[in-house]
Amino acid sequence: MQRIVSSITTLEHHCNALSQTPEVYRPPCCPHCGLKVLWRHGYYHRKADRGRHGEASFNPVPISRYCCSGCRRTCSRLPLCIAPRRWYDWLVQQDVLQKLLSGFSLHACSRCTCLDRRTVRRWRDWLHARSATFAFFLRSRFPELGRSDEGPPFWRAVLDHMPLAEVMGWLDRDLIVP
């Protein structure tokens, strides 16, 4: 099951889609048992709008939840603009990863982005641990990425080709993007 709805790219678009066309978020089938009978089961909320504070903020952002009539487990799908299981959005992560790929140390990257060094290290290690798998699926869809190794040259080419959010949207079609 795709956990990311790639067509919803902003929080404003997400809020409009929830009120006008909420069915775009309905999963085609239960990710746990495969049954195709899911009903809307309320919402949970995320604090996804970390860029704005005050009255212009979209927080808390509602996320539709669906319940399977067979196994009674719940699932949800996120818009492209909200990273699964992350506090920060894809743009912040892309900025950090681009700095690391261009040679910044963890300490320099942490100081430059005002993020904790452990967060920067965790994102670096996350990409490094999944690099071979991600590279395989990305090369199968985008041959123009070439055959370079999975290291920094490959990821620089990927991030020059498209934003990290779009990369994760494409990978979500084949994998579960953690």
Q: Within 28-162, where are the H helices?
A: 90-101, 106-113, 117-141, 152-161
Single-letter amino acid, residue 108: A
pLDDT digits (tens, 9 = 90+) for 38-91: 999 999 998 877 665 556 777 888 999 999 999 999 999 899 988 888 888 888
Q: Tell me, what's the pLDDT at 143?
A: 87
**Cβ neighbours of residue 65 closer than 8 Å, sequence gap 6 or more:** 40, 41, 42, 43, 44, 74, 75, 76
CA angle 48, 171, 124 (to 5 degrees): 65
Q: Tell me, what's the pLDDT at 145?
A: 82
Q: Tell me, what's the pLDDT at 52?
A: 57
Q: Tell me, what's the pLDDT at 178?
A: 64
pLDDT digits (tens, 9 = 90+) for 4-39: 898 888 888 998 999 999 899 999 999 899 999 999
Q: Tell me, what's the pLDDT at 68?
A: 95
Do the beta carbons of residue 130 and residue 155 sit within 8 Å?
Answer: no
The model's pTM is 0.80
pLDDT digits (tens, 9 = 90+) for 81-138: 888 888 888 889 999 999 999 999 999 999 999 999 999 999 999 999 999 899 999 9
